[in-house]
Amino acid sequence: MNPGDGCNRMKRIAQLKEHYCQAAVEDVMYILIFYKFSEIRVPLVPKLSRCIYNGRLEIWPSKDWELESIHNLEVLEMVREHVSTVIGLRANSSVTDNWATTEIQRLQLGRVYAASILYGYFLKSASSRYQLEKCLALAHQDRLSRRNSLQFPDLLPCGFKRLVFGHVSDQQSVSLGQGPGRQEKNLEELRCYVMGFDPETLQRCAKLKSKEAINLIEKHSCALFGDEKTGVLETGEVILTSFSSLKRLVLEAVAFGSFLWDIEEYVDTVYKLKDN
């Protein structure tokens, strides 16, 4: 046997093992995301073809409240703006508006869903970064406050204390930087924080960190919007649906992206994911 054949065979076996391992990790990540949805009692929307009745797509119940409950108020405001932008429904729309019908191509709906997953991922990344910087800023302020409130003698070596002040009981407290005019700096809101991103930071927060996350989004989107037999999106098919159902899909996608960020962070501590 040619030695080169043996090396190629071993290389092929290693590639197959790596492929199977990556597929298994993606399955675990998907199960964990599914579990996160189950915690808020929201079932993932099944394949769209199973939700079409008499030529109309309807997703019921809406589960809007549950899907919005995972976000804090600042993030939720941005999520609602995203929903209004992509489906054209006002945040304070009436019940009649929600149940009004519209037409959309299956391919376009799939793109909106995938884009909303990425938006949810971006928001979670940006808000986590914001909270971290906020905590660091508060910790820095607290450290400065404690340092400035030290008694003046405490800033001196022990020998100098006795020489200058004598007994400790006779010392007078001198507070530095604690004047009545001192005000705590207000931290900017999440929206302003995100708007202030430079292109590099924006790309860093929006970029999926792992190849497993990319594969997961592709597989999930194809399973949801693809053809029953081939899994390929039918570009020409037009779907009649309500704005309420569109909102349900977009909110689910944003939540999926947010959960994906959490799961990706967790799994990467156990198994090194492939960098994107």
- Bridge partners, residue 241, by sequence: 57, 102
Asked whether residue 9 is domain-assigned, the answer is no
Asked whether residue 164 is domain-assigned, the answer is yes
pLDDT in tens, 52-90: 888 899 998 889 999 999 998 889 989 999 999 999 877
Asked whether residue 187 is domain-assigned, the answer is yes
- Per-residue confidence (pLDDT) for residue 70, from 0 to 100: 95
Q: How far apart are CA 86 and CA 258, in angstroms?
A: 18
Q: How far apart are CA 258 and CA 78, in angstroms?
A: 13
Asked whether residue 275 is domain-assigned, the answer is no
Q: How far apart are CA 176 and CA 254, in angstroms?
A: 48
- Per-residue confidence (pLDDT) for residue 68, from 0 to 100: 95
- DSSP for residue 226: S
Domain that includes residue 156, residue range = 17-270
Residue found by looking up tokens 């394949």 in the block = 47
68 near 250, Cβ under 8 Å? no
The sheet with strand 238-242 has its strands ordered as 52-53, 56-57, 238-242, 101-105
Ramachandran assignment for 106, one of left (phi > 0), alpha (psi -120 to 50 degrees), beta (any other): alpha
Asked whether residue 263 is domain-assigned, the answer is yes
Asked whether residue 4 is domain-assigned, the answer is no
Residues 75, 80, 83, CA angle at the centre, nearest 5°? 130
The torsion angles phi and psi of 241, rounded to 5 degrees, stand at -155, 175
- Per-residue confidence (pLDDT) for residue 147, from 0 to 100: 55
Residues of the chain with pLDDT > 90, as a percent, come to 38
**Residue 263 scores a pLDDT above 70:** yes
**Residue 181 scores a pLDDT above 50:** no
The number of domains in the chain is 1
Asked whether residue 5 is domain-assigned, the answer is no
pLDDT in tens, 114-151: 999 999 999 999 888 888 887 887 666 656 555 555 44
Asked whether residue 6 is domain-assigned, the answer is no
**Cis previous bond, 61, omega within 30:** yes
83 near 220, Cβ under 8 Å? no
Residues 41, 45, 49, CA angle at the centre, nearest 5°? 155
The SS3 call for residue 181 is: coil
The pTM is what?
0.76
- Per-residue confidence (pLDDT) for residue 255, from 0 to 100: 97
- Per-residue confidence (pLDDT) for residue 121, from 0 to 100: 95
Amino acid at 37: F
